[in-house]
Amino acid sequence: MCGIAGLLDSRGLTALARAMGETLTHRGPDDGGVFEEGNVGLAHRRLAILDLSPAGRQPMSSQSGRYIIVLNGEIYNFRELHRDSGSHGPCVNDTAVLLAAFERWGIAEATRRAAGMFAFAVWDRESRTLILGRDRLGKKPLYFGRAGGALVFGSELKALKIHPDFKTTLDPEALGAYLRFACIPSPLSVYKDARKVPPGTLITFGADGRETSQDAYWSVEGALDSALGDPFAGSEGEALTELERLLGLCVRERLASDVPLGALLSGGIDSSLVTALMAEQAGTSPRTFSIGFSEADFDESATAGAVANRLGTVHTALAATPEAALGLVASLPATYDEPFADSSQLPTLLVCGLARRHVTVALSGDGGDEVFGGYNRHIAAAGVLAGAARLPAGARAAAAWALRLPSARLAKRVFSVTRLPQPADKLRKLADALDATDPESVYAGLCGVWDRPREVLADGPAIIAEAPLLGPSSLAPALRMMASDLAGYLPSDVLTKVDRAGMRVALEVRSPLLDHRLVEFALRLPLAFKVSGGKGKVILRRLLSRRLPPELIERPKRGFAVPLAQWLRGPLRDWAEDLLSERALSRAGVLNPTPVRSAWADHLSGRRDLQDRVWAALMLQQWLRSSAGSAVGNAE
């Protein structure tokens, strides 16, 4: 895991590459290197994981000297690539193996053969082109943009801003998407002159910095199409056998490390299964880490401890407090570089910090919900659509209106029955879904934060980005939602959150459930293997039942939720009021004070739980106020 940056600048400013790389020292504190040649500059910051010797330093040249690479991430199947490419050199460094694969098959084919999490920049000396590439699911970030006549790129936006000609003009479309989804989806960035390399994509630039091609070597939509053409035809038992084989392989590959390694263990199905397989294969008792809360409705630390005890891990837990959260909020803009409002960023930052005190690499259960149907929207999708279809339009509208009424009693009743966190928020999203008349609108209602972001922005964009449902209309809505989550929510929210939280403290987080080979297999499985009987992740539950007792598996899903609603009304209230005051909102000039102040007042009063909307406004205001946002230009 590392940080990369660089530029193509005809004016000879390639020395800026070193300064760009130094902004990413937190991602790679162990070493740094720079390559300059003509108008190209490449920079690398190294977090040494495999091959700790100087031979692992980057930028790295291929054997012939044609390719110069800076790579962030890991190629997990590098031994397989080494064998298949016919290379005769040592097989200890995944970057060197990837370069040999480039020379054997070309960049596009070698990237298609690679399994891992990565983002890279490759200077091809022969064709005088720069190629930017990103892994299939977007585990590793990569931004690029224009700075006057130069092309600039980097793992984080802060690297691009080093160039004196980079303009920080806000992108209204990105801000609208942010308020809609609490994150900025690919390929947008908060700045007009910067974009994200989409997952599964190679972008080629000429020596003059102009883009010459953009090619998707893999996509969720393409993988879904292939899966629908070749559905899994075996029994559930056969599917379990293949899943266990594949996931075992993915975990085993991710145990390769020359530094201490552990696991993030929440006590949920996904992290428990990954930890169980890790414990079976590691040969020693792995270290595990979890976060708990003093608020009992949100605390899963006892379950995580019980799972750790059952699996024989060396477990360390930390209690998250509102004071600890308040200590983090000022640094969030610099950590995420652009507005980001998934409140589970707080415990994620804390657990990564805890883990880094003991290990350099941690396995996680990220991806299980998106791949195997773990979100409430997947489980409720068919029921919501069927129920809404049976109701006349007037009855649907009346039901939605009733669900939006402020009612603490109703929210408590929902929680007492379902044990779902944030019950009032779930009721509001259900109301939005009942207002919908098609699967796309239901999905938007279940995923959205601010439903009318144009009204919330002082200068709203003409177009508000939505999250389209992938797959044919004949496909089950839950399966379409899972695919859409894989393509959108996963890279833009979940993986952004985890990457920045880990890299803030130089912790490499690996996600076996997001290996593309496992994802492609899961896409072939029927819905009943994923969602059935009001439960999600059915096949993962059954695989885990071979290792843990039912009482540690069959529990209500809580996610990584924090007691944000209570904290905002209590210990975080003064901080929030300072950012959301009429004066602060007017001074920043991006948010319309009226709807924001109204939502804040409703939340404070307890009439409604609007924590997600309030948090989105707070994170944008904090970003605008911070050093990361202080030099931004107004949206045009």
Which residues are catalytically annotated?
A: 2
CA atoms lying within 13 Å on the CB side of residue 601: 8
DSSP letter at 296 equals: G
b or e along 109-129 (b: 16 or more beta carbons within 10 Å of the residue's beta carbon)?
A: ebbebbbbbbbbbbbbbeeeb
DSSP 505: T
Sign of CA dihedral 411, 417, 419, 425: negative
Structure token pair of residue 443: 């999905």
Contact 122, 40 (CB under 8 A): no
Closest among 451, 402, 400 to 430, alpha carbons compared: 400
Contact yes or no for 344/332 (Cβ under 8 A): no
Helices (H), 51-165: 78-84, 94-105, 107-113, 157-160
Report DSSP letters for 142-200, one per residue. Answer: -EEEEETTEEEEESSHHHHTTSTT---BB-HHHHHHHHHHSS--TT--SBTTEEEPPTT
What is the edge-to-edge ordering of all strands in the sheet holding 287-293? 314-320, 287-293, 261-264, 361-363, 508-510
Q: State residue 624 phi and psi, 5-degree precision.
A: -65, -35
Closest C-alpha among 628, 622, 8, 112 to residue 343: 622
Tell me how far CA of residue 446 lies from CA of 156, 180, 414, 481, 530, in angstroms.
Answer: 30, 11, 17, 10, 19
